[in-house]
Amino acid sequence: MEKPRWSTKFFKKNILIKKPMKVQIELFGASREFSNQNFLEFNIKNDSTIKDIRKNLIDYLIKNFNGNENFIKIVNSSVFSSNDNIISDNYKITNNEKIAIIPPIGGG
């Protein structure tokens, strides 16, 4: 007989026991001014995306840098990378994933 989809086991595993996740954001270029360290770390909800990370970063800047407009502009004009690939705003973060913020570039 097929098990009911919402068994207690399934419910515990997928709904109740979901813990918040951690993400580490490596800082580059102008975003290095966001911290004395080379990275920021946030606790995030399950299924968070890059869109949520942008919001986390902006909340952090409002709290710690009085909403510095230039810093917020940097976040909004940056892309993010994971495992040496540029990732889209819909990319779902996994627990303890390390991503990098890539502000507007200009080498040479």
Partner 1 sequence: MLHTKIIDIKDKKLSLVEAEQFISSSDFGASIFFSGTVRNQNNNKSVTGITYDSHDSLVLKSFEEIYNEADQKLNIRDKAVFIEHAKGYLNLGEISIIIAVACKHRDEAYILSRYIIEEIKKRSPIWKKEHYQNNETDWLKGNPIQYEKN
CA-CA distance, 41 to 23, in Å (whole number)?
Answer: 6
Question: 58-87: string of b/e by CB count within 10 Å (b at 16+)?
Answer: eebbeeeeeeeeebbebbeebebbbeeeeb
User: Reduced to 3 states, what is the DSSP secondary structure of residue 17?
Assistant: coil
Query: Which two three-digit tokens encode residue 22?
Result: 């951690």
Binding mask 49-88 for partner 1 (x = CB under 8 A): ----------------------------xxx-x--x-x-x
Size of the site for partner 1 (CB under 8 A): 22
Contact between 35 and partner 1 by CB under 8 A: the answer reads no
Contact between 4 and partner 1 by CB under 8 A: the answer reads no
Is the Cβ of residue 56 or residue 78 nearer to partner 1 in the bound state? 78
Contact positions toward partner 1, by CB under 8 A? 28-30, 32-33, 77-79, 81, 84, 86, 88-90, 100, 102-108
